[in-house]
Amino acid sequence: MSVNYTTRYATNPEDFKSYGTQRLRDDFLIQNMFVDDEINLVYSHYDRYIVGGAKPSSSSLKLETIDPLKADFFLERRELGVINVGDTGIVKVGDTEYEIGFKEAIYVGRGEKEVSFMQKDGSQPLFYINSAPAHHAYPTKKVSQDDAEVVELGSLETANHRVIRKLIVNSVVESCQLQMGMTQLKKGSVWNTMPAHVHDRRMEAYFYFEVPEGQTVCHFMGEPQNTRHIWLQNNEAVLSPPWSIHCGSGTSNYTFIWGMAGENLDYGDMDGFDPTEMK
């Protein structure tokens, strides 16, 4: 069993304007999260947010603490959100095992000392992980697709017809600052989060999956009138600073998971920009 991590530091928006392709990818793109019998994490200095993945294969994977936390156990001062993007698997919290199916989530509150990820009957789950600092201990809760708050937005005419499932939000789960959900693009639609917005009170991370073989997604970021882009493949993620827009367009429809943390829990707290304003 192995828990690996790397660290990403925060970026000044003025410095960001000078970044080339490789610097953008080095600072914001997250790849290779799902490796057999490993937990791979990125510790970000944007709101101390952690993004990663766990792929239990031959053995159970324990979520052990990492050095930047300076903690006796991972959730000593943190909360955790997990969404399964593979086959049905098991998340064990303390002595309780939770069966988590495809596109189901689990929230784990501060103070839980033991969290492990396991297969179920030889299946291959892929557990996508987000974590944020927490000031209070809220109870662990599994969130199914039926539990989610569902919103349908956009249209085929504007190529952004999508269904949003809010899984870990304050209308569904009590949390300190962590929020997570899933947006699925309808067939024929490719644009997500358009019109684009920023929310300077929160950072965000996007994880793209169900990208068909041979297809790709272009993720846009940066200040609204000074944007940049990163091309992503299936099962890759990108960090979005609080001063940055976050939207994307694919060569096919796809699904992505959004996760965020910061000043408040108001999902609608955003400053929108008309598409014609973007540069």
CATH hierarchy code of domain 2-277: 2.60.120.10
Cβ(217)–Cβ(186) under 8 Å? no
DSSP code at position 211: P
Look-up of token digits 């490993």: 38
CA distance 30 to 41: 9
3-state secondary structure of 2: strand
Peptide bond between residue 13 and the one before it cis (omega within 30 degrees of 0): no
Residue 2 φ then ψ, to 5°: -145, 135
> 14 Cβ partners below 8 Å, 6+ apart?
none
The full set of domain ranges for the chain reads: 2-277
The residue type at 119: Q
Cβ(178)–Cβ(168) under 8 Å? yes
Look-up of token digits 């999260």: 33
Torsion-angle region of 170 (φ positive above 0: left; ψ -120 to 50: alpha; else: beta): alpha
pLDDT tens-digit profile, the chain (279 residues): 589 999 999 999 999 999 999 999 999 999 999 999 999 999 999 999 999 999 999 889 999 999 999 999 999 999 999 999 999 999 999 999 999 999 999 999 999 999 999 999 989 999 999 999 999 999 999 999 999 999 999 899 988 999 999 999 999 999 999 999 999 999 999 999 888 878 878 899 999 999 999 999 999 999 988 999 999 999 999 999 999 999 999 999 999 999 999 887 777 676 767 777 778
